[in-house]
Every structure is written in C-alpha cells, then in structure tokens.
Amino acid sequence: MSEKGRVRRLDSSSSGNSPVSPVARHYRSQDHLDRFIRLIGMELEDETAQIETRWKTWNKERLIRSGYAIFDLTAKKSGTFFDEQIITLSGRDRGRLPPHRFGHGDMIVLSRSRPWAEKTTEGVVLDRGPTRIRIVVKETPSDLKKGGWRIDRGANRVAHDRMEEALFTFHSTEGEGGTILRDLLLCNTHDPAFSATLPPELKGKGKGRANPRLDKLSLDSSQKEAVENAINSRLTLIQGPPGTGKTHTAVQLLKALVEMGRGPILATAESNVAVDNLLEGLLDNGVGAVRIGRPVKVREQLRAATLDAQMELHPDQGEIEFIREETKAMRAGLHDLKGKEKGMAHRDISRNMKEIKSIQKKIIDDTLDRAEIICSTNVGTGHMLLGSRKFPIVLIDEATQASEPSALVPIVRGARQLIMVGDHRQLPPTVISREAEKGGLNISLFERLIENGLSTTMLTTQYRMHPTIREFPSARFYDNRLNDGCSRKERPPAAGFIWPDWDKPVAFIPVRGSESTEQDGSSKTNIDEAAMVLQVLDGLLATGDLGPEDIGIVSPYSGQVRMIEELIIQSSNEYDGLEVKTVDGYQGREKEIIVISTVRSNEDGQVGFLSDMRRLNVAITRARRGLIVIGDETTLRRDSNWRAWIDWISENGLMAWHMVR
C-alpha cells in the first residue's frame, strides 16, 4: 500500500468479481422476449418448489430453527384495516416468539398443519413484536378461535404474472407497443449512448416553467448535474454510491419535473421500503403524490397518502355508504319476500352493487387525476386499478435492485422519458433460481445498459459516513471520486468501545472462531463471533451514548443472524430496538454503529459469497459513526477484496487486538 494514512487508487476491475451479462445486446426482439419469459418461469417454479419442499420434507424443529415457520399460534380478530381484517397471532403461553424471518409487508400463508394439502389463508404482516405478529387478511377463517395455527412464507405468483404481461406488452407490434424506447432499451439503435441523450419526445406537455429553477432546489453540484441531464434526456442513468443521496436527488428531480408541468409521472422502486422513502420525500417537499398498493405494506405515517385513504375522504364516499346500507336492508328483508317481489329485490341489489362499483371507479379516477405523481412498487404498477393510464415520464429508484422484467412493468405504462437511479456497485436483484441467475435474471436493466456503453451521472458527495469509513470503499469501488459532505466532528466515535485510533472509528477484531454449518445445511454460523458481537454490544450500550436502535448487527449469513438473535433472547440485558439482519437486508439502511460478523473461518480459506465485492461494499458503508468488523483474518485474506480491506486496516493501525487478549 501507499504511505500510511493515504489510500491509493485500487483497481476493482482486476478482482474478477465484476459480473458480466451473458447477453448484453438483443439483436432480435423475439430473443429478448423468449429469454426472459423462460427465466421468470424458472424463478417462479424454483420458488414454489423450494417452499413446497420445506413444507413436505422439513420437520417442525427445522422449520422453526430456520425461521421459515412459526407453530402453535393462537389467533384473534383485532379490528379492521382499510376494509380488511386484522388477526393477532401469539404463542399459546404468550411468551416470546422464536427468531423468525417475518417482517412488515411480508406475504404469509396461514394454515393448521399442512399448507400444501388444506385450505389456506393468505395475508400480509402488519407489524411484529416479541410476543405476537399481526397480519391483515381479506377473509378470516371460520374456526379462527380454535387455535393451533401456523404461518409460513408464501410464493409471489402475482409478480410473475405481471412481469410476463409486461414482457408481452413491451414487444407488442400494435401501435407504439409498450414504449417508444423499446429499441433503445434493447440497444438496437445505431448509437445507444447518443440516442439516450436526445430530448424526450413528450406529448401534451402541461403548463409550467420551461426551465426549472434548480438553484432553488436543495442539491449539491453532482446532484444538480444529474437533475439537469435527466430533464433534458430521454434515458438517464444516475449512479448513487452509498450515502450520496440517491433518493433525495430523485425527489428533487421529480419536484422540478412537476414544476415544469410534465406530469403525470410514475415514480417506482423495487421494494415497498424504497417507495415509501420516495413518497415521504415528495410529501415533505409539497408535491402531490398518491401511493398505490395495499396500505398494510405502507409505512404507518404515510398511509394517509395511499389511494385507499384518499378514497375514504372523497365526497362521493357518503353516497357509497348510503347505497351499502340500503343494500344491507334489502338483503335482510329477502326472507320475507316471495316470487316476483323477491326477484325484483335481487335485481335492485344487483343494480346497487353495479352503482357502487361505478362510483368507486369515479373516485379512483378523480383521485389519480389530481395526483401529480403516482408512487408504487415496480410490480404494483401492473395493478388493474391503473387501467389503461399512460405515464410519459417514469422514474425508477433503486433500479439496480430490480430485475429487467420487473423494471419493464412500469416502463410499458407509456414511458417516453425514463430515469433510473441506482448503483451497480451495490447488491443486485435477488434471484432464487440458480439457473435463472446463470441466465442473467440477476442483472438489472441499469447494469445491462452500462455494459452497452451508456454513461452514468455519478453522485460524488456522501453525507453518511465518517471520512475514515468512506476512504476504502471510495478507493476500491468508486475510483477515489467520493467526497465528504460531513466532517469528522459531525461523526464523533461512539463511547463504550476502545477504538484502536480514536480519530478513525473503524476496527477489525481478529477472531479465529468455529465456523459451523446448520443441521439443514442452509446457512453458516460461528458461535465465537456471535459471543464477541454480544461483548461489543454490551460495551457500546453501557455508557448510554447509544441506544439499541442506534446499532445494527450485520452478517452475510442468515444462520448467524438467527444465532445472534437467540443469544440476545437468552441475555438478561435489554436490547429492544436492536436490528440484526443480513447484509442484503441492510441495503439502503444506515445506523450510527455497524457491527459485522463475517462468520467464515476454515482451513481451506473458503469465503463463499463473501467474495462478492458488492456485498462487501454494502456491509461496510452502512455506518455513520463507527464500523466494527469481526472475522478470521487468515480466511478472509484468501479473497482479494477482503485482503485489500485488511491491508488498509493494518496500514492505518486499526486492528483491535486488545479485544481478543
């Protein structure tokens, strides 16, 4: 390495970890269609098969230990949630539930004992606590009070169907097909990079500023450049490294487009969390935005902006309630009627139901027509409530987390100007099927376009990390282009941990632990590292400088996450608010302090998917004030990226040997 305290430029391209798409350019539209129809079919089949295999072959203990199911639950109705029923599930003894994988917005299957062979109820997790889980269902089981319930993770068939429909629409030859951008997105234009920079062909522009006052927007220089490029180009890729304000930039861009009268605009992201972040930013900036999707999947403080909530406030809602009460009375009186009178009553009830649907459609149209921006998940834009609505401008946030078919769902809503915001140096789309991954389903449209020569506008000022935490990822992954928008004084090291250098709150604790494979072979654990995590955690919390909610515990392996959660449950200390997640679960998140357990420790030097440089990048860029990594130095050095990081640690004197003596 270079002179101590300095970071030389590191060539990440030489690491051999940079993924390359098996198909960068599609010379025939049919090839693209056939390929992705096949890949999303593989993904659905493998996801369904994986779930059914767990159901049919794993025993109860294995399912509980892996966090995929919870058994022996009692259930009770707990009110309603936007016309859906809330069910509270608790253990029979009202004690703590075992560590599990269920969180807000997750799809679940409620059953008695054999979900593959009995009538089940699908629901969505509303929230969770130590002793209960609340779910929202469209229909409540009749024998709810008998108890003896179980919940499992379910497959998402809806997502597959909407992606399939989007692919066929994208390749339609009727009229404009899915989008006039099709040839550009397939990279079949003579010069895709040049074509992307051409002005957007927008029809029916509304009244507004011809040139938005960008100086009035809260933007730094690189963010301003990104917004300017996006406004004037038909296809824009904005790369946002960790902490550089990707979503903030997207919000300010959307605000500028609204001021220009370029609506309606469709703003999407792959996850509900990312959509909520967009929505929150828009509302804070006074932009009229409506969120579509089930309210149960929306952050509580944002539910007033959902379509369902807005519909309830519509003045015509009173007429619907009147007709419903009238219909209810008609149904109640049916048993007293006979013959022709009963037939006429049924006819009137049918007419009332049709009228309710007609008024509801009018309310939906009125609400969406008033919105300047419609927010949704990518797949959510395939919902039939949007009908045939077209959106000439589509913005996709966190675009590198979306598979290409998923990104096409909003694009085929008539996109003439497309803006994608993401970072291909962070984690790619999640794909279950190994064969689908080999086929390139885990490569985002954003990344494929880069492979075909399209350039990105990169945000270069990070506002999250202490400057020392920023040094290595900037050098390794971003060509030393990241600048600091926060000072060392603004990110003071946390008390409760003896940092090797108090001016540089980064530490590596060398633990040669005992790597183990879970009994089911699904994941890795390391009890020695888990014990060290709790030791570090207790020290950080002892001084009162931080609360549990300020600390994030991260591991690449779900097995280690579960082991740490079990140790926390067994501890007598209070850790309420502490989050223990996989690296993948922490993308887009941040905490004051991040503690990472790398897990791998073996004679063969096997590091598994730790070798993915994008996973390393995400893991070490979540912290604001301090980063603590626990691992086996010898094993980690077998990987080029981890070896580079440990070399940097050593050069800066950040080895925490005092923790293991």
Helix (H) or strand (E) holding 105: none
> Using an 8 Å Cβ cutoff, are 454 and 193 in contact?
yes
Q: Is the confidence at residue 331, as pLDDT, over 90? A: no
Among residues 521, 526, 520, 523, which one has the least CA distance to residue 602? 526
The predicted pLDDT at position 145 comes to 85
Residue pointed to by tokens 């938005």:
212
Mean pLDDT of 1-5: 39
Distance from C-alpha of 122 to C-alpha of 153, rounded to nearest angstrom: 10
The predicted pLDDT at position 9 comes to 43
Q: How confident is the model at residue 379 (pLDDT cuts 50, 70, 90)?
A: very high
Sheet holding 289-291, edge to edge: 289-291, 373-377, 265-269, 393-397, 417-422, 235-239, 457-458
Distance from C-alpha of 42 to C-alpha of 269, rounded to nearest angstrom: 23
Mean pLDDT of 12-25: 47
What residue type is assigned to position 248 of the chain?
Answer: H
Distance from C-alpha of 449 to C-alpha of 192, rounded to nearest angstrom: 9
Residues 351, 355, 360, CA angle at the centre, nearest 5°? 150
Structure tokens at 455: 């350039």
Sign, CA torsion 284/289/294/295: positive
Could you tell me the pTM of the whole model? 0.87
> Using an 8 Å Cβ cutoff, are 529 and 597 in contact?
yes
Mean pLDDT of 583-593: 91
- For 243-288, the pLDDT digits (tens) are 999 999 999 999 999 998 887 899 999 999 999 999 999 999 999 9
The predicted pLDDT at position 177 comes to 47
The residues, ordered by sequence, that sit 6+ positions from 630 with a Cβ below 8 Å of its Cβ are 508, 509, 511, 529, 532, 533, 536, 595, 596, 597, 598
Query: How distant, in Å, are the alpha carbons of 117, 206, 284, 395, 419 from that of 226?
Result: 53, 23, 21, 13, 10
Q: Is the confidence at residue 345, as pLDDT, over 90? A: no
Q: 3-state DSSP call for residue 252?
A: helix
Q: Is the confidence at residue 119, as pLDDT, over 70? A: yes
> Using an 8 Å Cβ cutoff, are 562 and 67 in contact?
yes
The predicted pLDDT at position 146 comes to 85
Q: Which residues of 406-436 are buried (b: 16+ CB within 10 A; e: fewer)?
A: bbbbbbbbbbbbbbbbbbbbbbbbebbbeeb
Give the least confident one: 13-27, 283-297, 552-566, 598-612: 13-27
Helix (H) or strand (E) holding 382: none
The predicted pLDDT at position 83 comes to 81
The predicted pLDDT at position 639 comes to 94
The predicted pLDDT at position 500 comes to 97
Mean pLDDT of 518-522: 70
Q: What's the distance, CA 300 to chain centroid?
A: 17
Among residues 67, 96, 49, which one has the least CA distance to residue 558? 67
User: What's the number of CA atoms in the CB half-sphere (13 Å) around residue 10?
Assistant: 23
Q: Is the confidence at residue 5, as pLDDT, over 80? A: no
What residue type is assigned to position 419 of the chain?
Answer: I
Q: Is the confidence at residue 11, as pLDDT, over 60? A: no
Sign, CA torsion 111/113/115/119: negative
> Percent of the chain beyond pLDDT 90?
61
Q: Is the confidence at residue 479, as pLDDT, over 60? A: yes
> Using an 8 Å Cβ cutoff, are 66 and 522 in contact?
yes
What DSSP string describes 122-183? Answer: EEEEEEE-SSEEEEEESS--TTGGG--EEEEE---HHHHHHHHHHHHHHT--STTTT-TTHH
The predicted pLDDT at position 218 comes to 86
Q: What's the distance, CA 372 to chain centroid?
A: 24
Distance from C-alpha of 602 to C-alpha of 528, rounded to nearest angstrom: 13
Q: Is the confidence at residue 568, as pLDDT, over 60? A: yes
The predicted pLDDT at position 129 comes to 87
Partnered with residue 458 across adjacent β-strands are 239
- Name the percent of the chain in helix, strand, coil, to the closest 5: 45, 20, 40
- For 156-203, the pLDDT digits (tens) are 788 999 999 999 999 986 555 456 799 999 998 889 999 999 998 887
> Using an 8 Å Cβ cutoff, are 138 and 295 in contact?
no
The predicted pLDDT at position 336 comes to 81
The predicted pLDDT at position 1 comes to 38
Q: Is the confidence at residue 496, as pLDDT, over 80? A: yes
Query: Which carries the bigger pLDDT value, residue 66 or residue 406?
Result: 406
Structure tokens at 167: 């692919």
Distance from C-alpha of 527 to C-alpha of 547, rounded to nearest angstrom: 24
Helix (H) or strand (E) holding 592: strand 591-597
Q: How confident is the model at residue 204 (pLDDT cuts 50, 70, 90)?
A: low
The predicted pLDDT at position 593 comes to 97
Distance from C-alpha of 631 to C-alpha of 496, rounded to nearest angstrom: 20
Query: Which carries the bigger pLDDT value, residue 82 or residue 426?
Result: 426
Mean pLDDT of 43-54: 91
Among residues 596, 599, 582, which one has the least CA distance to residue 513? 599
Distance from C-alpha of 396 to C-alpha of 270, rounded to nearest angstrom: 8
> Using an 8 Å Cβ cutoff, are 55 and 152 in contact?
yes
Residue pointed to by tokens 């999707």:
293
Helix (H) or strand (E) holding 277: helix 272-284
Distance from C-alpha of 255 to C-alpha of 109, rounded to nearest angstrom: 40
Q: 3-state DSSP call for residue 364?
A: helix
> Cβ–Cβ contacts within 10 Å for residue 156, how many?
15
Q: Mapped to the 3 state alphabet, what secondary structure does 555-574 carry? A: ECCHHHHHHHHHHHHHCCCC
Give the chain's largest Cα–Cα span. Answer: 97
Partnered with residue 631 across adjacent β-strands are 510
Among residues 53, 52, 71, which one has the least CA distance to residue 61? 71
The predicted pLDDT at position 42 comes to 96
Mean pLDDT of the chain: 89
Distance from C-alpha of 204 to C-alpha of 562, rounded to nearest angstrom: 54
The predicted pLDDT at position 27 comes to 55
Q: Is the confidence at residue 550, as pLDDT, over 90? A: yes
- For 380-405, the pLDDT digits (tens) are 999 888 988 999 999 999 999 999 99
> Cβ–Cβ contacts within 10 Å for residue 336, how many?
9
Parallel, antiparallel, or unpaired: how do β-strands 84-91 and 69-81 relate? antiparallel
Q: 3-state DSSP call for residue 466?
A: coil
